Chains A and B, each alone.
Chain A
Amino acid sequence: MSKAESTDGTATGVIQSVSGPVVSARDLDARMNDVVYVGDEGLMGEVIEIEGNITTIQVYEETSGVGPGEPVENTGEPLSVDLGPGMLDAIYDGVQRPLDVLEGKMESPYLDRGVDAPGIDLEAEWEFEPTVEVGDEVGRGDVIGIVEETVTIDHKVMVPPNALDDGETAAIESIEAGSFDVTEAVAELDNGVEISMHQEWPVREPRPTVEKRTPRTPLVSGQRILDGLFPIAKGGTAAIPGPFGSGKTVTQHQLAKYADADIIVYVGCGERGNEMTEVIEDFPELEDPANGNPLMARTSLIANTSNMPVAARESCIYTGITIAEYYRDMGYDVALMADSTSRWAEAMREISSRLEEMPGEEGYPAYLAARLAQFYERAGYFENINGTEGSVSAIGAVSPPGGDFSEPVTQNTLRIVKTFWALDADLAERRHFPSINWNESYSLYKDQLDPWFKEEVAEDWDSTRQWAVDVLDEETELQEIVQLVGKDALPEDQQLTLEVARYLREAYLQQNAFHPVDTYCPPEKTYLILTTIRTFNDEAFKALEAGVPVEEIIAVEAIPKINRIGVQEEYGEYIEELKSEIADGIRSLY
């Protein structure tokens, strides 16, 4: 956010009451969602209700000590983000104030109040390279040049969507290569419009597109259970609900590290400070699997932790998705992680209750479902207004009270998202990670993504997956019987199925995020692990049919090596050898 240069005196009101993050003011001339500066310290806030002469404001900073009688100034501008080069490798609070800049300005590790800073550095110079020439006709959204924002990402400088009308074009009057700061004009159109590298966009309004398309490419995550069983598409939506400590954040971090998106926007919404610190410390060191560059070079972080002001927690989701849309407009595939959307919903609830609005289910405001839907609707695979295609994938963690999925945030989210990764406390307790419950989770993108996997990985990708799903289903049924009578009471073939299922769980579904190799598993390896287990399965059942007792089969020495495929860097050879060792070992029994 950048502070408005000046405000005219008539836009000033007077504080009437203060209740936590909610302040009401008298005599303030304002529109809904205008940004205002509250009190003697000029705390940033946003107009959220107007009733007669009284304007209600949510304040993005702590309000202790602020009292009635102090002034409120209106900027006349809606809550907006600054868009331009410099957003990658940056860390923001919920209203896009760069936290590193704030640290410097406040000269303290604690967040002070009343300090503002623009979302992008207004003085930094960037090397601008035009991609159009004088005389070229351009429309809104069109790319006119690029700057190298980071080693990984070329930032496309675009005609702002509101600079021209839909369908209107203008000719480039002047444009020049060179070094500019973001406020300087890099081009001028023949209608007099000057274009700089800096745009502003109101966060609560989606950036325009031509249309939403059906997504057909997976967002490959390098996580076996996700890519293999419950894939999400580029431009897709997913929810990760789970009780505390079940692995939501680790899953989100894994996606941020390894998903094959061009840009990652990571929103830490009302969660822990240390988790953001971890990202800040790790990402510059970690390599982007696509190109070996530091991960930070494709990442923008928004950190509004649980102890930071609640109103800025409400806005951080919008700040994040607006930044994501902006990179999408450049034709990039963007993945946005929001951890946790429940904290966002709670921020809405807290403000709503201070406004004394009529509470809906469990105290959440009646508009909860609508807000969640609006957020996820901003994800998708789009044709952009400049003719490029780009996507925003949105992945939200959900933190249901008591781990009970029947609560409103989980339920309303499930109605919208198409991928559901259900985390399970039971699995987490036995350190089965990622503790995604394979019986409850689903992906509605599976069918539309299969052609990609068949083309890129293996022709029998889908049938192999189905085989694994069937074995796991059978295991679930058999486990119920085992609970009653013990494993040894089962017929031999069922005992064998249980053994195969165990390897599916241990070698395929489980994946250690903290192991340097296992943490990332390319789809090919994901597939090969399945085929190895299937080799074991097929050989074992043949042996059983030939009369070999099940104990002897499962005692074959090579079999437990299946559990070590995950940690092999050179997995190709290992798997080939292992398959033949297993086959030979079992065949030697009969």
Chain B
Amino acid sequence: MKEYQTITEISGPLVYAEVDEPIGYDEIVEIETAQGKTLRGQVLESADGVVAIQVFEGTSGIDQKASVRFLGETMKMPVTEDLLGRVLDGSGRPIDDGPEIVPEERQDIVGAAINPYSREYPEEFIETGVSAIDGMNTLVRGQKLPIFSSSGQPHSELAMQIARQASVPEEESDGGEGSEFAVIFGAMGITQEEANEFMEDFERTGALERSVVFMNLADDPAVERTVTPRMVLTTAEYLAFEKDYHVLVILTDMTNYCEALREIGAAREEVPGRRGYPGYMYTDLAQLYERAGRIEGREGSVTQIPILTMPGDDDTHPIPDLTGYITEGQIYVDPDLNSQGLQPPVNVLPSLSRLMDDGIGEGLTRGDHGDVSDQMYAAYAEGEDLRDLVNIVGREALSERDNKYLDFADAFETEFIDQGFQTSRDIEETLEIGWELLSMLPKSELNRVGEEYIEQYYHEEDAEEAVAEAAD
């Protein structure tokens, strides 16, 4: 391996060096500073004689006398089942004073794309115990379902609640045989405080044993964030598809990841895309999110819950926008609902789970599930609309029908959504609450629910009460 002392330019997170041998794209580089510090980086561009290197730890301390070594391989993640229970830094090195990790394999972190022909369609219901998700935006194994939030919102609490409560009902009743469950947590640029919340929750619930934690904190090098999720997902794929685990991946905060991409793009003087983010950000994000899924003939699965904080709570911002175009739905955490004290403050209207339809229904959850959810969506949306009108004309000016929808919308928030971060509801309970709410409306309004289900589940008394109340 040759060493070069040929750095010609240092700019932001990038270093340019002259070389006299061919260097591959994406190859790993070690840079040793005059002070003896070793930094790691990756080849971004390689043209005859000059390579551009992105340095993970940042370029401070590097000068033209630093020496550059090309390791002749692309970045690898050492993987083994022993990673479970360990805490690593953003580049996959242990930081928990645990024993040395002896890898079983070293896998390329730029995962190859899964052949669409080899995938298996995800359709196993994951019960998260959260009504807003299970009832209205059902999560399935192998799905990628992000949380769209904004700074200062309790998205971490929601993610922790899901990680804590998630189970697959069918397997429980089977006596729990089947694959084991693991959580991989990838922190990118979050604060020490947020990280502690997660760690404490993991330790308190004993979840750490079945978790792998990757920590890149706010004061860790920004460029490292571009490799952290790849380390995370490489580990996830290994555990899922080679060791049969059902892996839940939580990545937080994708916004910080995208900022790091933008920083590198700017340093390379690339033509920027929308709002300064690189034009290839869609492809880059897709290469992460598409690593969720199931593979035919393999036991395990990779389910992803990426968290992102929308700058300005604006979902047309490129980060949530591109994410939404790739993921299979999204869960919105809503500041207004949060300030009303709802826990979790999930706004179901813009939320969506695209894989819901195949994961629910007879034999999976319950036959009426889809209809109940559709009807509650429509009713809540209608009630929501009327709230604006009420502010102008007052309740008295509204018809009896409209008033019922207003009541429905209020009850939907307080009864259905606001369950608390510590409560877990099974799907029966969630649907039961749904029927209580739907029974506030006259049967004839339930045009999205099959007649047989109305017959079976509709609470006649509630409707009568509602009628009686309205008559008073």
Contact = CB atoms under 8 A, between A and B. Distances in A.
Interface of A: 15-20, 62-70, 91, 99-100, 102-103, 106, 108-113, 243-245, 268, 270, 272-274, 276-278, 280-281, 303, 305-308, 310, 343, 346, 349-350, 353, 359, 362-363, 399, 401-404, 425, 428-432, 482-489, 506, 512, 514, 557, 560, 563-564
B321 A63 contact: no
A350 B280 contact: yes
Shortest Cβ-Cβ A-B pairs, 8 listed? A402-B316, A17-B47, A306-B286, A109-B118, A430-B381, A69-B22, A64-B26, A244-B324
Q: Which of A244, A363, A514 has the largest count of B CB atoms less than 10 A from its CB? A: A244
Given A245-B352, A514-B370, A111 B115 contact: yes
Contact of A273 (B73, B116, B321): B116
Interface in B215-256: 241
Given A67-B46, A431-B378, A281 B22 contact: no
B410 interface: no
A70 B326 CA distance: 35
A99 B117 contact: yes
A562 to B, nearest CB: 9
Interface stretch (B30-38, B171-179, B267-275): B267-275
B377 A431 contact: yes
A576 to B, nearest CB: 20
B329 A245 contact: yes
Given A102-B115, A306-B290, A430-B349, A68 B324 contact: no
B378 to A, nearest CB: 6
B313 interface: no
B70 to A, nearest CB: 10
B350 interface: yes
Contact of B22 (A70, A399, A401): A70
Contacts of A403: 316
Q: State the main secondary structure of chain B at its contact with A.
A: mixed
Contacts of A404: 316
Given A245-B354, A343-B282, A429-B350, A274 B48 contact: no
A170 B21 CA distance: 58
Contacts of A430: 349, 377-378, 381-382
Interface in B359-394: 370, 374, 377-378, 381-382, 388-389, 392-393
B30 to A, nearest CB: 17
B45 interface: yes
Nearest to B325: A244
B24 A486 contact: no
Q: Which of A106, A482, A487 has the most CB of B within 10 A?
A: A487
B110 interface: yes
B335 to A, nearest CB: 17
A401 B117 contact: no
B56 to A, nearest CB: 16
B447 interface: yes
B151 interface: no
A429 B447 contact: no
Contacts of A514: 357, 370
Given A17-B47, A486-B398, A506-B447, A280 B116 contact: yes
18 contacts: A16-B48, A103-B115, A109-B119, A245-B354, A268-B116, A273-B116, A274-B119, A274-B121, A277-B117, A306-B282, A306-B287, A363-B271, A402-B317, A428-B352, A430-B381, A483-B389, A489-B397, A514-B370
Contacts of A20: 25, 280
Nearest to A63: B25
Contact of B326 (A306, A560, A563): A306
A362 B447 contact: no
Interface string B278-294: 01101100110011010
Given A109-B118, A350-B280, A401-B322, 12 more contacts: A63-B25, A64-B24, A67-B22, A245-B354, A272-B290, A278-B121, A280-B116, A346-B283, A363-B279, A402-B317, A429-B349, A564-B451
B381 A431 contact: yes
A428 B330 CA distance: 13
A385 B31 CA distance: 64
A574 B247 CA distance: 49
Contacts of B290: 272-273, 305-307
B81 interface: no
Contacts of A489: 393, 397
A99 B110 CA distance: 21
B402 interface: yes
Nearest to B45: A19
B295 interface: yes
Contacts of B46: 17-18, 67-68
Nearest to A560: B444
A106 B402 CA distance: 61
Interface in B15-70: 21-27, 45-48
A18 B25 contact: yes
A281 B270 CA distance: 41
Nearest to A246: B352
A307 B24 CA distance: 21
Contacts of A273: 113-114, 116, 119, 290, 293
